[in-house]
Amino acid sequence: MLPSIHILNKDVSTYGLMAGIGAILVVFLIPAIGKKRGADYMRTQMMLLFAGLGALIGGHILYAFTRAKDLILLIKELGSIGSFKELVSRLSFIFGGAVFYGGLICALIAGAIYLAVKVKKDKSVYYDLGAVAIPLFHGFGRIGCFLGGCCYGVESKFGFVYHNSIAEGANGVSRFPVQLVEAGLNFALFFVLFALFRKKKLEGKLLGLYFVTYPVYRFILEFFRGDAYRGFVGPLSTSQFISIFLFALGIVLLALPRKKAAE
């Protein structure tokens, strides 16, 4: 659709631009929201920054998992690789993409580690803030996916035709705009979680609510994805497989007494 735009004599990735907008909003808006509920502004920002670093690493790791065959082949052929440049090229191919769930899981781990070290009192407000932040950032990310042409949908008469997508397989046919559908659902979920946070509803439970909501529509939307590099576990895509476990985790978090869920 529009994989890059020209700004100040440079081609800027629209995915990177949208992800950057989402990240900036999260880093400045979420701490301001949390401050009204007693969360320390700087500690909220640091939690989000640690989570962002975890997301960056985890997304690429899970993407490499979806290309496990290529990774295994690389390990087997390490001794025959002719140059360091060839090695870097093949590693870039294997780790070059990102999978949202890998980023999400590592972001949660990194954020939780930071909170365990720096916040000794009740951490529930910070976890609630994290739940509000995730769909806000993710919504902008999915708009970036649509503009760039990655994570594209199945062939459909109701859609858009890519001609210069960053994913070659997307080009030339009408594609269902699954990225925009997910972006819209993510923004809707953000507003619901934000409203609940402001009204002090389900305190300490918003992360659980996120986990019983997002995995449901992600599981369904996976059937409308047309890209091949998603990985599969039996009949399910990697993301559908993970969605089942995250949904179960969400039920557990919602069922736990608030004090235990916040520990």
Question: Where in the chain are the domains?
Answer: 4-261
Token pair 């990735």: residue: 13
Local structure of 2: helix, strand or coil? coil
pLDDT at 263 exceeding the cut of 90: no
Report d(CA 114, CA 194) in Å as an integer: 23
pLDDT, tens digit, for every residue of 20-55?
999 999 999 999 999 999 999 999 999 999 999 999
DSSP output for 116-128: HHH--S--HHHHH
In this prediction, residues 149-163 reach a mean pLDDT of 89
Report d(CA 76, CA 74) in Å as an integer: 5
Report d(CA 245, CA 252) in Å as an integer: 11
- Contacts of residue 123, Cβ cutoff 8 Å, sequence gap at least 6: 115, 262, 263
Report d(CA 240, CA 163) in Å as an integer: 29
Angle at 194 between CA 193 and CA 200, to 5 degrees: 85
- Report the pLDDT value the prediction gives residue 260, as an integer from 0 to 100: 46
Q: What is the pTM (predicted TM-score) of this model?
A: 0.89
pLDDT at 63 exceeding the cut of 90: no
Q: In the predicted model, what is the mean pLDDT of the chain?
A: 91
- Report the pLDDT value the prediction gives residue 163, as an integer from 0 to 100: 86
